[in-house]
Amino acid sequence: KGDTGRAVELIGKAIKQSPDNPLYYNNLGNAYTNKGNYESAIASYRRAVDINHLFGEAHNNLGNALTQIGRPDEAIACFKKAIQARPDMAVAYFSLGRSLKELGFMESALAAVQQAVRVQENYPRAHYLLGQIFMEEGRLKEAETCFKKAVAFIPDSAEIYYSLGNVYRD
């Protein structure tokens, strides 16, 4: 419903009754993230992974929150932990690839995002990110293929059409 303040309050009550449930802390972190309160989200995600170090979603969410506050190196470590915990979690490979790309590690970024697509073929954001990486590397034919796959999943995306148009322009 978009009432994140109420969500924080109610999840907090659940935590008081069951303080060792990592899912509650993960969801509390999600509520804080929705409010833009990344420091509190980070604390909640950290608590979730302290309780269950194999909680891949919480590691991934922690990495995303760290990315939001400009701590990409720590975020990358979290994405790698998410992948260790859940090798079938496409979003963790995607998140890792996005962060590696932002830091300029294009080969590693490419490998991570390609793995995201191998794990989940119908992942339009991953196809789009692959297209961006290929575009930056000057690999226009591969970028075109990726953008076409992405737009097949999201046919009303101006951003994807724009990127595909840039491939044809170049």
pLDDT in tens, the chain (170 residues): 778 889 999 999 999 999 999 999 999 999 999 999 999 999 999 999 999 999 999 999 999 999 999 999 999 999 999 999 999 999 999 999 999 999 999 999 999 999 999 999 999 999 999 999 999 999 999 999 999 999 999 999 999 999 999 999 99
pLDDT of residue 3: 86
User: Is residue 162 within 8 Å of 130, Cβ to Cβ?
Assistant: no
Q: What is the pLDDT of residue 93?
A: 98
A 10 A CB-CB count for 31 gives 22
d(CA 4, CA 44): 15
pLDDT, position 6:
92
- Per-residue pLDDT at 135: 96
Quote the pLDDT of residue 98: 95
Q: Which amino acid is residue 86, in one-letter code?
A: R
pLDDT at 2: 77
Residue 4 pLDDT: 86
Helices (H) and strands (E) in the chain, counts: 10, 0
How many degrees, rounded to 5, is the angle at CA 154 between CA 103 and CA 104?
Answer: 10
Question: What's residue 13's pLDDT?
Answer: 95
d(CA 38, CA 47): 14
